[in-house]
Amino acid sequence: MASEFKKKMFWRAIVAEFLAMSLFIFISIGSALGYNFPVVGNKTATATQDNVKVSLAFGIAIATMAQSVGHISGAHLNPAVTLGLLLSCQISLLKAFMYIVAQCLGAVVATAILSGVTSSLPNNSLGLNALADGINSGQGLGIEIIATFQLVLCVLATTDRRRNDLSGSAPLAIGLSVALGHLLAIDYTGCGINPARSLGSALVARNFTNHWIFWVGPMLGGASAALIYDFILAPRSSDLTDRMKVVGHIHPECDFLAELKRNENECLRDAEDHGNETAGCRKTWDRLLCWPNAEVGETLTLPCPQVLFHFLKEPGLVRRNCTVNGWSDPYPSYHIACPVNDEIPVEEVSISEPIPFRNMLTLVI
């Protein structure tokens, strides 16, 4: 855990969360404050809020930020999402804590700036979450739990690397899930589903009435989504003891040899189940990637292995040709297409001292 704290990539991810959260909050809450004043009895009334417009603004803003910084930090942008991924053993405890701090700071900074920009707006609530008339705290809590549950469930499902049936854009799917949550919850609670977003408005507006609901609800929703997805809907092949190592480790991919072995088993098992469905090159595993069936003369292009994601200096592509003699060697080579950072160690249980990741990678490829 201490070694993670010293890595440049770790701090890049923290900065990315802060920056993306700031932009997300400014854009999304700004859309809810607009200067749309209806005229009632020849007098200008207070600003009106279009729920569909606001929901789309929140959803599109999340999708945009996720696409922009997802490759740097994973673009959690929500403490409930971070908690869900922590319970899913996909990030370390230190990273989860720092992400939540960055998200809260980003939300407060963006809301403070927005307060200055919209200072002339009457009855400016700064997007403060509050219970609607007739809604008690228990009902509001339930709405927040359900709306956040579907969001975190969507995040876990659309970013599950074990799936081979995914198509389209994960950021877009997550953005639509955020919009869906707002369409449900705006009229009841103002739609929190994001404790950091709720904290920014409450702190700048100095109004913490029922604020606990917008922390407890989303956190319960995110935690329950992670537990249900991981242990009921899509249980993982690795046991809980192995997965818990991630919580105190520098990256979920650090135990990459075990991850590669799981990927290899899945690839070979799938190849056996389907047999040789082509007269060309059969589905195969080359120690880092699973190459699907291809016809003679066909060139396949795959991104660098996900298992190396956090270690890459920059993402690249690897190609292989299907020839009459079988698969060609990958080109460019993995060392060229997927350059990794030398300073990142891999700490194996049987090794007392960390060894350079590049050296460990060389043993594999």
pLDDT in tens, 145-198: 999 999 999 999 998 877 777 778 899 999 999 999 999 999 999 999 999 999
pTM higher than the cut 0.75: no
| pLDDT 10s digits, 339-364 | 765 444 333 333 333 434 444 444 45
Question: Average per-residue pLDDT in the chain?
Answer: 82
Which of left, alpha, beta for 130 (phi over 0: left; psi -120 to 50: alpha)?
A: beta
Q: For residue 101, give both structure tokens.
A: 């701090």
Q: What are the helix (H) ranges across the chain?
A: 2-5, 8-33, 51-73, 79-87, 93-117, 137-158, 170-189, 195-205, 213-228, 240-244, 256-274, 334-337, 357-364
pLDDT band of residue 12 (cuts 50, 70, 90) is: very high
Q: Which residues pair with 39 in a beta bridge?
A: 44
Contact partners, residue 52, CB within 8 Å, separation at least 6: 183
pLDDT greater at residue 51 or residue 175: 175
Average pLDDT over residues 257-271: 76
The boundaries of every CATH 1.20.1080.10 domain in the chain are 2-248
User: For the ranges 166-170, 226-230, 255-259, 327-331, which has the lowest average pLDDT?
Assistant: 255-259
pLDDT in tens, 198-211: 999 999 999 999 99
CB 327 within 8 A of CB 320: yes
Q: Between 52 and 266, where is the model more confident?
A: 52
How many of the other CB atoms lie within 10 Å of CB of 1?
A: 12
CA distance 166 to 231: 21
Which residue intervals of the chain bear CATH 4.10.1240.10?
A: 253-364
Do residues 273 and 283 lie in contact, with contact meaning Cβ atoms separated by under 8 Å? Answer: no
Beta-ladder partners of 345 = 356
Between the alpha carbon of residue 120 and those of residues 35, 115, 201, 263, 353, the distances in Å are: 10, 9, 17, 57, 60
Q: Which residue, among 206, 221, 214, 194, has the nearest Cα to 28 in the 3D structure?
A: 194
Rounded to the nearest 10°, the torsion over CA 9, 14, 18, 19 is: 0
Yes or no: is domain 2-248 CATH 3.40.710.10? no
> At 180, which amino acid appears?
L
**Residue 45 banded pLDDT, cuts 50, 70, 90:** low
Residue 36 has φ and ψ, to the nearest 5°, of -105, 95
pLDDT in tens, 84-134: 999 988 888 999 999 999 999 999 999 999 999 988 877 788 889 999 999
CATH number for the domain whose boundaries are 253-364: 4.10.1240.10
Span 6-23, mean pLDDT?
92
Question: Residue holding tokens 């592509």?
Answer: 317
Mean pLDDT for 46-59 is 82
- Please say whether the beta carbons of 181 and 191 come within 8 A: yes
Task: Compute the radius of gyration of the chain from its Cα atoms.
Answer: 23
Mean pLDDT of the 306-313 span? 64
